[in-house]
Chain A
Amino acid sequence: MSDVQPPVVPGEIKKISRPAGSLASRIIPPLVVFVGFMSLWYLYAASLEERERKATLAYPHQVLQDFFGGGPTGDQPGELIKAFGLSAMVALVGLIIAMILGLTFAILMNQAKWIETSFYPYAIFLQTVPILALVPLIGLNIGFGLPSRVLVAVIISLFPIITNTLFGLKSAEKGLHEIFTLHDASRMTRLFKLQIPAALPAMFTGFQISAGLSVIGSIVGGFFFGRGAKGLGNRVQVYANNLRPAELIAAILLSALLGLAFFLFFGWLGKRMTRNWHQPI
């Protein structure tokens, strides 16, 4: 009997490397597009000014002024930032509720087929109903305040979390399941040691999609529900009605920025959670 250790060649270890393009090659092309877009914007705004239709579009620098309050048409300084904070809060609370509900539902559906058969059609309904059509009904029933806005954010972001998690829970390899079967693992052990870890990448894909949607939900909600503190949706409506294009554009950009921030955060978090093992395709 020989106990000689088999050789392990150092070259057998693969280095984990991230794709590296040079910084310049990734920054310069979008920068060129940005400059081109800005030039077009200035040209178009200038042509509007000539035709005395200033009320429809503002210059980029006027928009920029509005981010810091006190733009040309005069709003309370910081009004927009306050609205931004409120919308972010609504979206975040809505998203967290949707995550808790979505994960719970997905796990229940995965554990019992009858729950999946009974509830899945209605989950699809959540996804297909036009949220704009549903919003007035919500308002009529639970009022036009903050809770309604949160509810809209929850409804719009629930479905991607449910489907992605459900898909993820089913994604563990058959061989891995068989190991758990061979060793008489309980349902809970299988769920927590195999299915949930295997579902993490899909789960985070769901969170990421829903993060963007919850921001849309909070802004659409704010558009309709003016009671209480004013969010970005309300600002968009007010600026549009009062023909204040600079602030309107600033509000739109902030909304997009909020969605982007949510999207990027959850993308980053998901990558971090699975950095040791999951290689995005």
Chain B
Amino acid sequence: MVFDHVGKIFPDGTEALADINFTVNPGEFVTVVGPSGCGKSTLLRIASGLDHETSGDCRIDRSNIGYVFQDATLLPWRNVKANVELLAELHGMSATERAELSRPAIELVGLSGFESHYPRQLSGGMRMRVSLARSLVLRPPVFLFDEPFGALDEITRELMNEEALRLFTHEGFAGLFITHSISEAIFMSTTVHVMSARPGKIVASYDIPFEYPRSPDLRFEPEFARLNGELSRALRGAHS
């Protein structure tokens, strides 16, 4: 996934993105962190093909992309299993094929036993897991995450971070993650880009040196705190 001098100007003249340059390779987990309204989500929409760049070039194989939205965006009239099977269904797979694909995905996110529950019976964290399982079913080599855990409470969010990392090490996809939480960005990523607002521009980039799998206690390491401080300062700079 390559962003080559990508820029985006909306029809009303707002410049959302300017000169975005970075690459995400398989096995890399890249996070873009920035203030609200800086165009982070627009970046993902361009990557997925839901929106188009107005300058530069975004090169990515769009045949099989996993996209995790801000909300779980489940079909409320379908139970967990039917929700997880949705994408396979849209690609015309048979019921047996779908069941074969959905079972391991549901297992992987820890929802075995909840197949026949409906979304409204589940907590926010569990809904997000269903959403993850749904994206996993087609085993996409590219995963886009649009602030997926922003609405969850802190502990659930940390658990979900660990969950997502487990999936990352298990599947080895190329991940592009959007968030406004610095510690989430450091905990998850191989590389973190800091974005400024209006127009959205990458102002600083950091390689995160920690090995995978990462333990939850990593968050309390001095090196983690140091990076946290450095990114915070960069982000403050981006804000002003």
Contact = CB atoms under 8 A, between A and B. Distances in A.
Nearest to B212: A1
Contacts of B220: none
Contacts of B152: none
A110 B87 CA distance: 24
Interface residues of A, number: 33
Contacts of B121: 13-14, 16
A148 B49 CA distance: 55
A200 B77 contact: yes
A133 interface: no
A279 B112 CA distance: 26
Given A16-B121, A194-B75, A279-B120, A6 B48 contact: no
A279 B118 CA distance: 12
A277 B118 contact: yes
Nearest to B162: A6
A189 B89 CA distance: 10
Interface in B200-236: 213
A13 B120 contact: no
A5 B170 contact: no
Contacts of B182: none
B67 interface: yes
A75 interface: no
Nearest to A178: B50
Interface of A is mostly: loop
Interface in A1-19: 1-3, 5-8, 12-14, 16
A4 to B, nearest CB: 8
Interface stretch (A180-188, A217-225, A231-239): A180-188
B122 interface: yes
Contacts of B49: 182
Contacts of A185: 90
Q: Which of B50, B77, B109, B159 has the most CB of A within 10 A?
A: B77
Contacts of A16: 120-121
Nearest to B91: A183
A3 B170 CA distance: 9
Contacts of A194: 75
Nearest to B72: A175
B126 to A, nearest CB: 6
B60 interface: no
A118 interface: no
B90 A189 contact: yes
Given A1-B169, A8-B110, A178-B69, A183 B75 contact: no
Interface in B30-84: 48-50, 65, 67, 69-71, 73, 75-77, 79
Interface string A268-281: 00000010111100
A277 B119 contact: yes
Nearest to B45: A178
A179 B86 contact: yes
Interface of B: 48-50, 65, 67, 69-71, 73, 75-77, 79, 86-87, 89-91, 109-112, 114, 117-123, 125-126, 159, 162-163, 166, 169-170, 213
23 contacts: A1-B169, A1-B170, A2-B166, A2-B213, A5-B110, A5-B112, A6-B109, A6-B110, A7-B110, A8-B126, A12-B122, A12-B126, A13-B121, A13-B123, A14-B122, A176-B75, A179-B86, A182-B65, A183-B87, A183-B90, A185-B90, A277-B118, A279-B120
Given A13-B117, A175-B70, 5 more contacts: A3-B166, A5-B110, A8-B114, A175-B73, A193-B90
- Of all A-B residue pairs in the complex, the 8 with the closest CB atoms, nearest first, are A175-B73, A277-B76, A183-B90, A6-B110, A12-B123, A276-B118, A5-B110, A277-B77
